[in-house]
Structure 1
Amino acid sequence: MLDRAFRILAAFGPAAPALSLTSLSVRSEMPKSTTSRIVGKLAELGVLDRTDDEKFSAGLRMLDIASLAPRGQGLRATAVPRWAYLAVARWITGRSGPSGMSSSSKGGCPANRCWRILPRA
């Protein structure tokens, strides 16, 4: 079971930070039903997060675990402020990712909640 979970986690990378269930199945070379079951459990545990467009990405629990590794020291101090900033931006705009932080001139955020008032991470 663990080897299959790690195959799913290894499917993610800088060029693929969020993947659909089908993509995860193909990249991990497992049946979609098996992938679905494992991804569901990983999401339930917070290791993976489900995005608004039904894709999956690394969850905060993954950061918690990675920060415990000796080479991960300082990872939390670097990543958490940026993740918190993105979480606030998502709350403000109701969107995730770069499109969620578009300016109000593009219609990206409500007039009373605009990301430009947030400090830079």
Structure 2
Amino acid sequence: MDGIDAYSPSSKFFRLNRVLWLLEEINLAYRLVRHDRLPEFMAPDSLKRVHRLGKAPVIVDGGQIFIESAVILGYLTDRYAGGRFAPALGTLERRVHDQWLHWTERPVAPSSPACDECALWKT
């Protein structure tokens, strides 16, 4: 099958949702492959055969492997979305966009030191 292979654990603890959402938005063919995590939440061998660290989410496009949902979103946007979902590369607006895209990967809670720089939690 042509298109993207998207790999995810079969659990509620995955960040592939936003990748799948973008794949749907840009109408790109993909195949979803789920892998059950081991009881210790370790990656199964089937996922390690795709990426040796067993990272998920992971996509494979034409033999190229991408991990980390923010990186995957950036790749798909740049390669397939035709400028619909991000400012042009090389612009200040794009750097700000990418900053916030990657910031969403940070675990942030009101008790987290990361919130010292987050005005959202301040009253």
Q: What TM bracket, shorter-length normalisation?
A: 0.3 to 0.5
More helix by share: 1
